[in-house]
Amino acid sequence: MDLDDLPIGRVLTRREALAVMGSSGAILLLGGSTSSVSPTGRRRYPCVVRPASTAGPYYVDEKLNRADIRSDPSDGSIKQGALLALTLNVFRVARGTCSPLKDAIIDVWQCDAEGVYSDAEDPRYFNTVGKKFLRGYQVTDQNGVAKFTTIYPGWYPQRTPHIHYKIRSPRSATSPYEFIGQIYFDEATSDRVYAKPPYSARGKRSVSNVTDRIYNSDGGRQSMLTVAPNRDGYSGTFDVALDLG
């Protein structure tokens, strides 16, 4: 059963995001102290609007403040798979400006190479209650950046490869906010990753982006992560902007 996200405060809803982006996505270049300079001398950030998505049934607030989410604190084991260095850049859109969102809490959770989530029970496939692998959160720095070390996610029936993320305000915030989304991957990259161990032991995956219901209904094309190979595996940077008024 899918659990829809419940945004608090003023963030871009799925409908609002898709209306702004149309079918191809959108980058909003708004005034602020940013990474590029406009003709008027004002610096600008590229604010990328993303559609909200379902949290799914496997979200658990483990309160694990860590950048490397591969290990299981219960026994020290490390989940094997293609290493993925994931960087999230979070911005806020407010009063016509775009700026880094500092002190936002970003939760990340995903399945392992076998399509299994930790601390969850699925009567058909697994029971991992008490385990905490591939879960964690980071707080964005003054540049709105949070970095995670994880693995390329596996697949499971009905779902294409994806990573869940939740962006939420600090508990001390006077205007709380929450935004939930999913990150998706290029099909060709997934095919290359899954052709090697430990993924290859599962055989050919049974679902792709185009056959994934949530990918299609929640604007998956606007939530793609472009990854690049590096010495240790892959790396990718994902930008997301929240409209906080």
73 pLDDT above the threshold of 80 = yes
Q: Mean pLDDT across the stretch 196-206?
A: 94
* C-alpha of 51 from chain center: 12
141 pLDDT above the threshold of 60 = yes
What's the mean per-residue pLDDT of the chain? 84
* b/e sequence 45-60, b meaning 16+ C-beta within 10 Å: bbbbbbbbbbbbebbe
Which among 156, 157, 159 is positioned nearest to 220, based on CA atoms?
Answer: 159
pTM, rounded to two decimals: 0.84
Give the pLDDT of residue 145.
97
Q: Mean pLDDT across the stretch 208-230?
A: 95
Rounded Cα–Cα distance for residues 208 and 187 (Å): 7
pLDDT confidence of 193, banded at 50, 70, 90?
Answer: very high
Q: Could you give the domains of the chain? A: 14-243 (2.60.130.10)
* Lookup: tokens for 114: 């076998």
Q: Mean pLDDT across the stretch 194-214?
A: 95
Q: Which amino acid is at 3?
A: L
Give the pLDDT of residue 45.
66
* b/e sequence 75-101, b meaning 16+ C-beta within 10 Å: eeeebebbbbbbebbbbbbbeebbbbb
Lowest mean pLDDT among 22-31, 125-134, 167-176, 225-234: 22-31
φ/ψ of 226, rounded to 5, equals: -85, 120
Which among 113, 114, 92 is positioned nearest to 103, based on CA atoms?
Answer: 92
How many residues comprise the chain? 245
CA torsion sign for 101, 14, 213, 128 is positive
Rounded Cα–Cα distance for residues 88 and 65 (Å): 15
Task: Using a pLDDT cut of 90, give the percent of the chain over it.
Answer: 68
